[in-house]
Amino acid sequence: MQSLKSIFLTKLSIFFFLFLQTIHCQADVPQLMIADSLFNQRSYKEAMGIYQENYQSGIYSPSMLLKMAFISEGIGDKESAALYLSKYYDLSPNPQTITKIKSLTGQNELVGYEVSDGMRFVLFLVEYKEIVVGVLSLLLIVSLIFLWSKGDTEARFFWPSGLLITLIFLINNFLKGPNTGLVTGSPTFIVSKPSAGGELIDLVEPGHRVKIRSSKDVWYEVEWKDQIAYIKKEKVTRQ
């Protein structure tokens, strides 16, 4: 039977590997603090450069998205402002955001912003992903120290720490928000098949959102009003 020390060191190594992944995700926090300082000093162009670099790397927060939308609207880029607000809505759904997007896009009604209770819970976990991973990591450390102090070597005593390692790995690597896209083309044809011969389902203007299921050549397969449809990629900006 494998010794307790070997089991402990193996699990501790796995934990540190996962923990370093989390640190990597947060490596640009000081840079974001500099950007926030520039924003407060109204150095919007310099702040936007840092924000965009982090956004493209998948590092953002609700407050950062609001600042990016503010800067974009200020320079007349309403399309980007609507995009950032749409992403903000994923993290913090509220009617005020919808109203602002309608104002930016000139729409009276918007499709694709409905959020179920289950999705709200997922979005909550995504927003506080680092905190969740941190709490689970702390519990993992406590469980390993407890096992080490007790000297238990039976496999049945190791399942809690094994479960925690699995949860940390899954959350850190697979917990993501919905794969959505913002319609930015005018006009945009939504069709039944990924071809020019597809039946026209809808003709829409920028501002609506679609859930992207897959990519096929120059088309996105999307969900539109509870049905499968297709939109040309050039008409949609992924979030």
Q: One-letter amino acid identity for 126? A: V
With a cut of 90, say whether residue 39 has pLDDT above it. Answer: yes
Quickly state the pLDDT bin for 175 (edges 50, 70, 90): confident
With a cut of 90, say whether residue 45 has pLDDT above it. Answer: yes
For residue 194, report the phi and psi dihedrals to the nearest 5 degrees: -80, 60
d(CA 70, CA 39): 10
Quickly state the pLDDT bin for 194 (edges 50, 70, 90): very high
Report the pLDDT value the prediction gives residue 77, as an integer from 0 to 100.
94
d(CA 51, CA 59): 9
pTM of the full predicted structure? 0.69
pLDDT digits (tens, 9 = 90+) for 196-236: 888 999 999 999 999 999 998 899 999 999 899 999 999 99
Q: What is the second-level CATH architecture of the domain 180-238?
A: Roll (2.30)
With a cut of 70, say whether residue 180 has pLDDT above it. Answer: yes
Q: Domain limits of the chain?
A: 180-238
pLDDT digits (tens, 9 = 90+) for 47-101: 999 999 988 877 788 899 999 999 999 999 999 999 999 989 887 888 899 999 9
User: DSSP code of 194?
Assistant: S
Taking residue 128's Cβ as centre, other Cβ atoms within 10 Å add up to 12
